[in-house]
Structure formats: structure tokens, C-alpha cells
Chains A and B, each alone.
Chain A
Amino acid sequence: MSKDNNLHSEKRYYTILAITVIIVIVLICQLFNLQIIQHEYKYSADSNAFFKKTLYPARGTISDRKDRLLVYNQPTYDIVYIPREVEPFDTLDFCHILGLTRDQLEKKISDVKDRRLNPGYSSYTLQTLMTQLTVREYGLFQEKLYKFPGFYIQNRALRQYNFVNAAQVLGYVAEVNKTALAEDPYYVRGDYAGKSGIETSYENILRGQKGVEILLRDAHGRIKGKYENGKHDVNPVSGKNLKLAIDIELQAYGEYLMQNKIGSIVMIEPSTGEILCLVTSPTYDPAILLGREFGNNYKSLEQNPSKPLFNRATQGTYPPGSTFKTTQGLIFLEEGIITPETAYSCAGGYPPGGGRPRCHGHGSPLSLVPAIATSCNSYFCYGLNAMLSNRKKYANIREAFDIWKDYLVSMGFGYKLGVDLPSEKRGLIPNSQFYTKAFKTEKWYAQNVISIAIGQGEILATPLQVANLGATIANRGFFYTPHVVRQIQDMPLDKTYTDRRYTGVKEAYYNTIAQGMANAVTGGTCYGINLLPEIAVAGKTGTAENPHGRDHSWFMGFAPVDKPQVAISVLVENAGFGARFAVPIARLMVQKYLKGEIPASEKYLEDNMANAIILPNVLNSWEQRRNDIATQTTTEGETIIEE
């Protein structure tokens, strides 16, 4: 051995060195793998140590034009959890605290994990299990939070309302659905967003910007303070507050007058396009679409055949009836078909002698101003016929018709006005193609379409468009796109709402029409709104033919005649002639706005209007059934049936 010793030792020395070097190389390779090649460890480390707490901004508040606070926030609590951190827990206790059944809990958890419902699911981030805890639940859960590792309570704000009015204008806020989650990465499951009204149309302004607080969390889940003293935190930016053009008192009064009736009142300030009130009836208390009863209440509203969720002022389309005659006068004047002095004789209808449309008794022949004042059907039928049949001015009826249509479009009909509320309807103003298609020939005649001259036939308009017509006449030829939001905090209004839109009809012709409307009040169809000597009102009644029942009652007008401060449209469904309901309601509304109160002498009128019940039979029977069920169940005690 000893003779071999020196011989072998050199070799063994190098073997040992080689072993050392190989070991170190293997270790370095693994370090290279962990630290340079693989990236998942960085992510794991962050999700280990960083607890990213979302800081929810306060949603913007909403107040009315007189700074009365309408919508604000109140704190509420959500249960959130990080799936990866959840350890087996006492589900019985958990369900007991939160008033859930085991199945409901399992459903909630499986919903969170369902990527179709919750595209942003990750087991490393906070997921919302349950929203809007009651104060009692919050207290109980907070106390036992230590028993449920991985679960946390997150503060959030819930909407709160000071008034029961303007529900459809304000809209409501609810949990975002999966389409919104997929479309806008800003939202995570459990977030809230506006679902209708200005909560939707101003969502991006009201919601603000979420912030994030990066907290350090140790191995036991204890929070050890902020990461780098909050250097990487993002503060939430509060949503901007909105100030509405709506006068909530006026709105409430309108809703009061419209109770037990179906219809709409829209009032616009002509000089700005601001919507002073946007009443739609029936309505509901916005506060019922809050909290955990949202689901039941929403369902009940949705099933109600009178459609309280439907904003009739912007989404309901009706034939505008005689209120439309004003537009015809303007077009005929501007096109030179008539002059203010042109007179047509009326013999009880068009064509003369009891033809259709029929006309009621009044002096004859009439020029334009008295024709408006007395709402002569024949006059406007003659006018439209004269225009469409004029082969000197227009090559054919189609050209004439499309010119006619263009005027109406410029007056805000036929297309969405662009109000700052979602789902506005455009109404219907046909063009020549429409009739060519309908009659299957290009050869159709004025007589075929004549009823559109008096706002019947194919013509459809929303109450907002009709109120806007009033504002346009009040302005003598232009309007501002109507809007419900008057001011956004620290932000100018969209240019759409501050630019004038001219109709292309001369001011002088508007004066003629305004004169006719003023005469209608002083000595014509809407004498019922005569407020002289205090206020000179201009107005036009209308009766929209309704194939399904009694006609709808219209009023469109503005006041005062010379320096208009308000334009108004009132629609009461199934109320018959315009003069019966629409005019008195407008009378009360105009006084309420311009005088601030209703004189004692007109209290009877107020009561009459408010107490009148005009509901179609289908609704009556439905209400009856609902009441029956309600009384039955209350007498029995326990169960309450939710519709």
C-alpha cells in the first residue's frame, strides 16, 4: 500500500477536488434554474407576501338643481376570501352567522370558481363571496373571523336615497354581470356599477378610480404593515359629484299628480336644454333596488304589467297628435307652401264634407294662427297636400317628402335626441322609401299619407321629443340637446349639451306658430291653462289615437310666451281629449315651477288631478289580484308571497 500511496494520492487528490467542483456546479445550476430561468417563484413570492387590498372610492353623490342631496353613500360590508388560503372551516357556524343554508354557501363558492360567471377568477386574489352584510351579521362575523382563515371583510359604500322620486332618472346600482366583467377589466366580480338612469350614463364619472393598498403579510397571515411605507399604494380617486337640472320638488309634484295614471311629464328650460323634471308614471321608490332584497324587488317590478322600470318620457313612443301640427305650420311656411295669411276652408274634415281626418266645428276659412289655436285638422291636411303635390317646386312626391322629413329631423324627431339617459328611443318619422316599400310602388299620393299632417298615422315621438318641440318654439328656432345633468364636479359638460341646434326654419315663422299657440290658450283648445294676467302661456293640445283603448291625452307648450322660462309636454295615457287631463296637469306644473306654489283657489284642481285614477282594465285587475293576495297572506300571518 505504502508504495502505491504517492502514486495514487495525486490521483485521489484530484478526484476529491473534482467531486468538490462538480457539487458546486450542480448547486449553481439549480440556483440558475430557480433564480434566472423560472419566473413563477417571483409571482408566488408576491402573492405570499403582498396582500393587495382594494380601496374602493366613494361613488359620486347626486344632488338636484337647488343643491338638495338626492343620492349619497352609506357604508356596507362584503365578505371576500382568497381561495388558496381557505382552510377547512366550520361551515355550520359560518352559515349560521350569515343566515345561509349549506347549499346556498356551496352554490356561492362554485359560482365564484365558475370562470364563465367570474372571468377574473384566481385562487391567489380576493374573491367576493357575499355582499352587503347587515350590521348584525357584520358584527357576528367580525367576532369569529379568526375561525375562518382566508376570509376577510371589505368595506364598501352602498347607495342611499333622500327622496322617493325620480327613480327612473337616477337609475340604480347593482353588481356587475359577466358581460361587463368581460368587457371592462376595471371591474372584478362583486363590484357595483350603474344599471340604468344616470347611474349608467355617468358610470365612468360617478365610480371614480379604485385604489390599492399593498400590505405585507407574514406566514401566519398577520398584516405587518405597508409595503415600503405605502410607496406603491394607489389612493382611490373619489367619483365626481353630479348636480342635476332636475328640481326634485317639481319632480315630486309631477309624480304626485300622475299617481294612478300612466304617462309622462317633461319640463325643459328652453334657454339651456336642462330638463327640470322628467316624470314617468307609474314609478317606484329607488331605495327598494338596494341591498339584498334587490333580486326580489327587481323581479316584482319587472313582472308588473304597468312596467314601472320603463321610462316612458324617453322610451315610450306615441303618436304626437295635434301637438305635431305646429311642426307642419313651420315647414309649410319655410318651404313657401303657405304664408301666415294663407287660409283654407274647413268643412268638417279632409277631404271636404266629412272626409277623414274629420274636423270639429270652428269658424271657416282659417289662416294659420287660428288654425293652430282651434287645432283645425283640415288646414294642415290641405297644407301637406299642397306641399307633396307641388310639382313645380319638387320633381316628385318622394323628393318633397324627404325635404319634409329633413325638417322634422332637424327639429329633433325621428332620431334619438341624445339625452344623457340610457336606452332613449328614436320615435318614427318615415321617409319616402318607407312608403315606397309599404305601398310597393313609387307612385303614392299625399292622400295616402295625409294623417301624418296631424301627428297620427306612422308618426311616433317620445314625450321628451314633444317637450323639446315646445322648447324649440319657445326659443323661436333652436334648441339645446335636453339633458338631466347640469354640472359635473370639476369638469365641463359635454359640448353636445352646450351647443345650439338650429332647425332651419326662420324665427319669424316660429313667431307665427307661437302666436297660434298663445291664442290656443287665450281662446282656443287649451283655455284650461290660461294663467293671464300673471303668466302668458302658449300651448297646444293633442289627442293621440290609440288602437288598443282610449286615446292618449297630450299637451305641449311653453311659458311665458315672450321670455320663455319653461317648455312642457304632458302625456296621460287613455285620458281621452288633451284638454281633460293633460292641460290641467300642465297648468299645475307650470304654476308650481314659475310661482313656486299652487294658489289656494286651484287646490280643487290639484286634488282632482291627483285623485283621478286612469288605468287600463288589465292593470286594474292585476292590482286587484295583488291586493287580494296581500290581504290573504297578511290575515294568515306567516308567509309573505313575493310577486
Chain B
Amino acid sequence: MLKKEDDHITGSVDWFIIVLYFLLIIGGWLSIYGASYDYDHVTSLFDFSGRAGMQLVWMGISIIVGFVLLKLDNNLYDILAYFIYAFFIVLLIVTIIIAPDIKGSRSWLVITDSIRLQPAEFTKFAVGLAIARFMNSYNFKLLTIKNLLILAIMIILPMILIMMQKETGSALVFTAFILVLYREGLPGMVLFSGVCAVVLFILGLKYSDIDMGALTMGECISILFIIVVTAILTINFRKDYRTASYILLGAAIYGGICYVISLFDIYVNWGIISITAISAVVIYLLITAAREWSKTYLFLALFAIGSIGYVSSVNYVFTDVLQSHQQIRIKVSLGMEDDLMGAGYNVNQSKIAIGSGGALGKGFLNGTQTKLKYVPEQDTDFIFCTVGEEQGFVGSVLVLLGLSALIIRVFFLAERQKNTFGRVYGYGVGCIFLFHLTINVGMVIGLLPVIGIPLPFFSYGGSSLLAFTILLFIFLRLDMARKRR
């Protein structure tokens, strides 16, 4: 009987992911040992009082849980999805009320002194299951206001609760589900608008210190960016190369003439020039819309106007909505401030640790920066430093390739799911891993602001390891069902 069951799993489970999973958690375990190694107090890899030993315990628990998840009936997840979601929403609320304050965060449920759980970590798979279940409904149409609203609430509700626990990073993870919605039919324009918003935010902020007449340099560059994007969208939606080239050529000639004038030591107010240029583009689009009687041109004109509104609010949002430590983190990642002793310290030290690893690294347990605690949170959020310092470029790239291979394999399998439930959940899994990988590694190597979220399978922490295992293994179970059918 047991043998039959085993064959059952071994025959249908995706071995590629299983092998990668084991390689990654072992790599993570060794990195944690390296990161928490203390010259004064050397513990063995298997000493359960040390962090590596504890991680080993969590690895054991995770593997058992993962195995159990594979044995459960695949329909169970579909049936229980809303219950699980509801359970974790309640748990998040309870956590806000009863959790003690640990380093400013109120996200930990203390079970015993040594066992603490972070419900926020587990909420990810619960949300994944819930939206998969919701979108799996009969004759589901994504692009209705009601459905979009329900999905938005399903995603935003846990985000708000987690933000209330002062875990902004973990809350931001849920934005990864936008990519899932995109796969399921959300217009690409939404995704594109998101990217544009980020670019405009960065441009507007980074060059906000330089005055260019009526506007800041950031705003002028943002307007230039909007003109170019508008032209590209014109081509994209209408295949209208003529209008697009008029917009681009007009802007280029206008700007070029002004530039030549400025060469003769004549003061040129680039702010006013930018405003007149974008106004001309909008007017031109509106005229075209009227002439062609096309909603698309009207939409493009509105896009340009909306973008300008957004650009003019960037500085306000930055200074009045974000908290000061968040402002500094963003400024540091944009290279606007060094602040090496304050907010920039972590990133600078982590770059030093990784940079000092060189091509081949200093060797296992030979890293000085991580051993001597120069890098803060080095066994949790900054675990990648240990990899970078001790294993060098080769090791770091291997870890990146391992994790990205896992993510791509998950997307590959998700795409091949026969039912929407499996596909949506699979994309959810892939997107969450991708988000963690991007934000964590991007932060550690100084590309993104410091946002404290763990690196899957590497960062120390039972909750995160167990949560990622559950997230992944539920998908493996769903995938097994696909193969058997």
C-alpha cells in the first residue's frame, strides 16, 4: 500500500523542482552557518543552539510538511481556499492585537521562547489560493468592475493588515499578484502604466534638485519621457507612424532650436519650453482625435495629461506621504545621498562584502565582512552578502540562476495547467518568488531601496522557509494532478 503511494508520488511529481528545492535549501543552510559563524563561539553545523542547527530543524519540518502536502487530495486546496484565506485574515488581525513589539515590528506570534511564527509569510499562499479559486469560478470574466474590485480587495486587505504590523516589505509582496492578473487578461497598459509611473517617479526625484526655469530638471526630463512614450503608444495602438513621427520630430526640432539658442549664451527657460512642448502635443492629439473621430487619440491625450499630473505630484508624495526613513532609503538607492553611517550604512557594507568576494570568493567561512558583523541582518535579509563574499561572482550567479530556474520552471508548469485554478495559483507562486528575488537581491547589491523581505530558502527563519515550502509544494501537488489525468 505504502509502496504504491510512493510510486504514485515519484512517478508524477516534478523532479526538476524537487532537486532544485533541495539544492537551494542546503545552499541556504550552509550560508546561514557562514553568516552566523562567530569567532568567539564556534558552533557546529548540527548544533541546535546555533542558527544553522535551528535552520536544519526547520528544514526537516518543512520537508515533512511538503511531503504531507503532496499526499493530500488536490481538490482539497480548491475546496478549502476561502477557509484558509479567512483563517489567515483573522490570524493577521489577532496578530496585530496580541503580538509583542519585536524591533518595531508587531508581526510575530510567540508560541514558545524559541518558536515564533510570522502569519504574514503564510498569508501569501492563502491569497494565492483564494484568487485562484475566485478566478476558477464558472464563466469568470476578469474585466468587469465587480470582479476587479473583489480581486483588489482580496489582495489589498492583507496588505493593509500587514502594514499595520509595520511590515511594509512583506505587504509590498502582494503587488506581485498584478503580474498574475496580467496573465489572466488585465490590459498590458496597466502594467505599462505601472512601469511608467516608477520611471517617472525616479526621474522626477533624482533630478529634483536642479532648477531649470519654471520646472525642475526632473520634471523637464519627465515631460520628454512622456512625449516619447505617447509617440510609442500611438504606434502601438493605431500603427500611426505619421502622427508619431510628427510628435517626435516636432519636439526634436523645437528642443534643438532652443539648444542652439542657448549656445549663444542666451538664457533659455527649459521649464517653459517643456510645458509648451507637451501642451502642443496634447493639442495636436486632441485635434487628431476630433478629425479622425477616434477614442484612441483622446485616450492618448488624456494619458499625457494624467502623466503630467502625476509628475507634478511626485515631489509632494515623496515629501508628505512617505516617512522620513523611507525617503532616505529611496534617496540612498538613487545615489542622491550617501549617508554611510546612517541609512546608507547597510547597503554600503553589503556592497563592500559582496564586492570584496571578487570572481571566486574568499572561500567557505573565510568571509571577513560577514563574520565580523559589518553587514547587519546578515543571516536574514542580507544573507546574499555571505554568498557574494565567500562564493564570489560564480557562487552568486549560481544562486541567482538556481532561483530563477525554479521560477521559470514554475511559470512553465503553470502555463501547462489544464484548469484555471492550477494556472492562477502557479503564476502566483512564480510571481511571489520573483518579487522576493528581485527586491531582496536588488536591495543587497544596492540597486533598490532597503525593503526588508527574505531571500527564498536562503534567509534564516522558520516562518519564511516553511511558508515558501508550503507555497511551492501545494503547486507541486496541483501539478501532479495534471499529469495523472
Contacts and interface: CB of A to CB of B under 8 A. Distances in A.
Contacts of B182: 12, 15-16
B373 A30 contact: no
A16 B411 contact: yes
Given A30-B446, A45-B355, A218-B372, A224 B393 contact: no
B242 interface: no
A187 interface: no
Given A19-B179, A35-B392, 9 more contacts: A13-B411, A16-B427, A19-B434, A20-B408, A24-B404, A27-B400, A27-B447, A36-B359, A224-B40
A30 to B, nearest CB: 5
B415 A216 contact: no
Interface string A357-381: 0000000000000000000000000
A44 B356 contact: yes
B351 A41 contact: yes
B160 to A, nearest CB: 27
B352 A20 contact: no
Nearest to B345: A219
B356 A28 contact: no
A30 B141 CA distance: 41
Contacts of B352: 41, 44-45, 48
Given A36-B358, A48-B374, A26 B447 contact: yes
A20 B411 contact: yes
B438 A9 contact: no
Contacts of A30: 445-447
A16 B351 contact: no
Interface centre among A30, A35, A41 (most CB of B within 10 A): A35
Contacts of B388: 31, 34-35
B217 interface: no
A637 B394 CA distance: 77
A15 B357 CA distance: 34
A5 interface: yes
Interface in B262-281: none
A49 interface: yes
A41 B374 contact: no
Given A16-B179, A20-B434, A216-B39, A38 B355 contact: yes
A52 interface: no
Given A5-B185, A16-B411, A20-B408, A34 B355 contact: yes
Interface in B331-373: 349, 351-359, 368-369, 371-373
Nearest to A27: B441
Contacts of B97: none
Interface string B400-431: 11001001100100010000000000010010
Given A34-B351, A45-B355, A28 B397 contact: yes
Contacts of A21: 404, 408
Interface string A204-224: 000000000000111110001
Nearest to A225: B39
Interface of B: 39-40, 141-143, 179, 182-183, 185, 188, 349, 351-359, 368-369, 371-374, 388-389, 392-393, 396-397, 400-401, 404, 407-408, 411, 415, 427, 430, 434, 437-438, 441-442, 445-447
A9 B434 contact: no
Given A1-B141, A1-B143, A42-B356, A31 B408 contact: no
A194 B415 CA distance: 81
A95 interface: no
B438 A23 contact: yes
A8 interface: yes
A17 B142 CA distance: 22
Contacts of B349: 48, 219
B183 A35 contact: no
A50 interface: yes
A224 B400 contact: no
Nearest to A45: B356
Contacts of B371: 216
Contacts of A26: 447
A134 B91 CA distance: 66
Contacts of A225: 39-40
A218 B392 contact: no
A49 B351 contact: no
Contact of B354 (A8, A41, A49): A41
A87 to B, nearest CB: 9
B396 A31 contact: yes
B448 to A, nearest CB: 10
Contacts of A219: 349, 372-374
Nearest to A39: B355
Contacts of A38: 355
10 contacts: A5-B185, A20-B408, A24-B400, A30-B445, A31-B354, A31-B396, A42-B355, A44-B355, A44-B356, A219-B374
B434 A216 contact: no
B190 to A, nearest CB: 12
B10 to A, nearest CB: 28
Interface centre among B372, B396, B408, B438 (most CB of A within 10 A): B372
A517 to B, nearest CB: 75
B39 A224 contact: yes
Nearest to B407: A20
B368 A50 contact: yes
A224 B353 CA distance: 18
Contacts of B445: 27, 30-31, 34
Contacts of B188: 12, 15
A68 B354 CA distance: 59
Contacts of B389: 45
B79 to A, nearest CB: 25
A32 interface: yes
Nearest to A217: B372
Contact of A218 (B358, B373, B407): B373
B129 to A, nearest CB: 20
A351 to B, nearest CB: 90
Given A27-B442, A218-B374, A41 B355 contact: yes
Given A34-B351, A35-B396, A45-B353, A9 B183 contact: yes
Nearest to A40: B355
Nearest to B191: A15
A456 B302 CA distance: 111
Contacts of B359: 35-36
B183 A16 contact: yes
**8 closest Cβ pairs, A-B complex:** A41-B355, A45-B356, A49-B368, A218-B372, A35-B393, A34-B355, A24-B404, A44-B352
A82 to B, nearest CB: 15
B143 A48 contact: no
A584 B445 CA distance: 87
B367 to A, nearest CB: 9
A227 B366 CA distance: 10
Contacts of B447: 26-27, 30
A4 B407 CA distance: 26
Interface string A66-94: 00000000000000000000000000000
A376 to B, nearest CB: 85
Contacts of A32: 393
Contacts of B40: 224-225
A8 B185 contact: yes
A216 B37 CA distance: 14
A36 B368 contact: no
